[in-house]
Structure 1
């Protein structure tokens, strides 16, 4: 923990709880940072080493991240924009599917 030695011996054990919580939070943050770094390394290896091996058959080529991995939560505005974009995409797909079905039905008559 981050408690000085002399303070440790003078404190009530209950007063050490915030120090322990802060230490755990710091360790979790460090673990999250290391995991994130691992994601970047794995993506870089996938985009370079795995693509350079011609004897490995893959359905798609490995790609490095186009944008940084987001670690902060999305705002309400961003969530609404994302939902609107997904809805527009779905409506476009549904419209195209409907046209295709109508076209097939007309050919079948």
Structure 2
């Protein structure tokens, strides 16, 4: 009783219904609850990933004047666009990509210079 009642209530089984069930009949409730938890975890992971994408773009925009933070949420681009809007979007994404690659290249050059300097000292 100390195990099944709290577990059943947590899973959404009504108190009055609990008394008409046995552990075998509660198993579908357990499965549904586990599925709900897994789906909620998946949604949280997707939201965290999306937030990381916004942070990445924000950092790129802060480090390079050519990179711009999006004016609308990701995914809002799905409505029909005019050719001018499409060209502008492609241009902005190309600028963002160029800014990200520039940052990457600068880090790579610094690392390469540091390794060549340490090689000279040996």
- For normalisation by structure 2, the TM-score amounts to 0.42
Give the alignment's TM-score, normalised by structure 1: 0.47
Structure 1 or 2: more helix by fraction: 2
